[in-house]
Structure 1
Amino acid sequence: MPTVLLIEDDQSIADMISIYLSEEDYNVHWGADGQQGTKLFNTIEPDVIILDIMLPDANGMDLCKEFRTVSNVPIMVISAKSEVSERVKALIIGADDYLCKPFSMRELAARTSALLRRSAISNHSVQSTPPAESGEIDPQSIKIDMEKRCIYLLNHPVETTFSEFEIMKLFWMHPGKVFSREELLNKIRGIDTFVTERTVDVHITNLRKKVEIDPKEPKHIKTVWGVGYKFEH
């Protein structure tokens, strides 16, 4: 039974989410504010986090960023703020999905299931590394450990969000293949999830900052003008 950490200060909304997800066979733990949510995060090891942005004692964005620095657990932000700038900001700091209030319980459950499904598939993938023609390790190369869900640059681990890792894994498994923004969106979110092409641009920008020696002159994640992006070892 998947464990959901719900951080939401509105008890009526929290009750509805908890009841609905419990009926869908989720084990829901509720934190009514940032302090309770952080305490639960450190004790229950959630499989997914549903996080409200406006909390009485904390900024949900700050909590999201804090959680992301220590864990790759999928994070879904829920908020009454529907502006594109707010959704982009959440994605930049580490959220994997953003759901605007009011929303249907059915959609919330579907998105939660999608996040968990993609996380489970990735976590059970077999570790794989790119072949080295010379038999020696190139310290400049990017490597991905599927089992640990970790990207290595210069043999040092790089922290990524759930969606960033999914994009990087897709790139790495298909070097040289050009992916359109729409293809990348469909791969990381599913065709039924509301996202924009700007979402992909945000993830690409963040990935370049993390894996490129010079993000302004990328040697690995390259833009194919008018089409999308491609990855080169």
Structure 2
Amino acid sequence: MTVVLLIEDDQSIADMISIYLSEDQYTVYCANDGMQAKQLFQEHDPDVVILDLMLPDANGIDLCRYFRESSSVPILIVSAKNEVSERVHALQTGADDYLCKPFSMRELAARTSALLRRSAMPVHSQRNAPAVVIKSVPMKDIVVDLEKRCIFLHNHPVDTTFSEFEIMKNFWLNPGKVFSREELLNKIRGIDSFVTERSVDVHITNLRKKVEIDPKEPKHIKTVWGVGYKFEI
């Protein structure tokens, strides 16, 4: 059973989301403040987190950062704040998607499913599919272990968000291939998700900070001007 941690202080919205996702065969645990959210996160190890930014006792961005420090769980932000700066800030902090209120339950469910579909977690749409195991292959100073969903830099693990790893995985499996921003966006979120291509640039910038010796002069993650990005050995 796929576990969703829903963090929402508006009880009517929380009830509506819980009922809708439960009907879609998710197990939903609800928290209405930051303290309860941290407790439920530790107790239930959720497969995906749906997080409202405005909470009575905590800043949602700080809570997102707290989750990201110890986990690569997909995080979907839901918020009435619809400014581009707010969305970019959330993505930079570690969120994987951002949905502005008001939203339809159908769209929320689609985005949740898209995040789970792109993760390594088994979801109801994948449970009967044959397992595919892909071994990692050493590539000089960077190694991507696809089974463990971990990037190693000089044999040291690098913490990444769900979306950062998905981008790196596609680079790793297709060295030298040029990906447009739209292609990367579709691969990490699914074509049913509404986010701007600017978010891909944010993830690339964060990846470079984590795996490049000099992020301003990247050796591996290259910009192809006017097209997108590629990964070089």
TM-score by length of 1: 0.93
Q: 1:129-168 CA deviation, whole Å, 9 max, x = no partner?
A: 2257xxxxx4xx2111111110000110000000000000
CA distance in 2, matches of 1:122, 1:13: 27
Shift, 1:120, TM fit: 3.3
2:186 alignment partner in structure 1: 186
Q: Tell me the C-alpha RMSD between the 2 structures.
A: 1.5
SS in 2 for 1:194: coil
Closer/same/farther in 2, CA of residues 50 and 56 from structure 1, 3 Å limit: same
2:59 alignment partner in structure 1: 59
TM-score by length of 2: 0.93
Closer/same/farther in 2, CA of residues 22 and 80 from structure 1, 3 Å limit: same
Q: 1:166-211 CA deviation, whole Å, 9 max, x = no partner?
A: 0000001111111111111111111221111111100000000000
User: What percentage of aligned pairs have identical amino acids?
Assistant: 75
Q: 1:31-82 CA deviation, whole Å, 9 max, x = no partner?
A: 0100000100011010100000000000000000110010011100000001
**Stretches of 4+ moved more than 4 A in 1?**
121-125
1:173 alignment partner in structure 2: 173
Give the aligned residue type for 1:159.
D
Pairing 1:129–2:165 present: no
1:135 alignment partner in structure 2: none
Pairing 1:44–2:44 present: yes
Shift, 1:126, TM fit: 2.2
In the alignment, structure 1 segments of 5+ residues that lack a partner are 133-137
- Whether the aligned pair in 1 keeps the contact of 2:110 and 2:192 (CA below 8 Å) is no
CA distance in 1, matches of 2:217, 2:154: 18
Give the aligned residue type for 2:199.
T
- Whether the aligned pair in 2 keeps the contact of 1:54 and 1:79 (CA below 8 Å) is yes
CA distance in 1, matches of 2:32, 2:122: 31
In the alignment, structure 2 segments of 5+ residues that lack a partner are 124-130
- Whether the aligned pair in 2 keeps the contact of 1:122 and 1:146 (CA below 8 Å) is no
SS in 1 for 2:223: strand
SS in 2 for 1:20: helix
Shift, 1:9, TM fit: 0.5
Count of equivalent residues? 226
CA distance in 1, matches of 2:25, 2:13: 18
Shift, 1:117, TM fit: 1.3
SS in 2 for 1:120: coil
Bigger shift: 201-210 or 114-123? 114-123
CA distance in 2, matches of 1:80, 1:74: 20
CA distance in 2, matches of 1:4, 1:195: 22
CA distance in 2, matches of 1:113, 1:120: 12
CA distance in 2, matches of 1:230, 1:209: 16
1:202 alignment partner in structure 2: 202
